[in-house]
């Protein structure tokens, strides 16, 4: 089964800016950007990051295409 999850990539400088502005720790910012938390503060952190240059990625887990060995 293909499982997808979201991830927001932000520079360390932007993460520190968000932490200072919202008075949270950088660990809280990283958790919010990795979608590990879904609190109102986490949603605010994600929207702030995306509006200030961060990129949103959707990661999809794939099957291993090299699971079978082919003899040539």
pLDDT at 1 over 70: no
The per-residue pLDDT for 49 is 98
- State how far Cα 8 lies from the chain centre: 3
In a domain, 45, yes or no: yes
Tell me how far CA of residue 71 lies from CA of 63, 65, 68, in angstroms: 20, 15, 10
In a domain, 40, yes or no: yes
For residue 12, the SS3 value is: helix
In a domain, 49, yes or no: yes
**Residue 37: which domain range?**
4-60
pLDDT at 64 over 70: yes
Band of pLDDT at residue 63, cut at 50, 70 and 90 = confident
pLDDT per position as a tens digit, 3-56: 899 999 999 999 999 999 999 999 999 999 999 999 999 999 999 999 999 999
């Amino acid at each position: 089964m293909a499982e997808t999850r979201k991830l927001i990539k932000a520079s360390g400088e932007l993460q520190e800016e968000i932490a200072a502005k919202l008075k949270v720790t950088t660990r809280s910012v990283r958790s919010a950007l990795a979608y590990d938390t879904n609190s109102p503060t986490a949603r605010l952190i994600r929207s702030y990051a995306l509006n200030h240059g961060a990129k949103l990625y959707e990661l999809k887990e794939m099957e291993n295409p090299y699971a079978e060995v082919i003899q040539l």
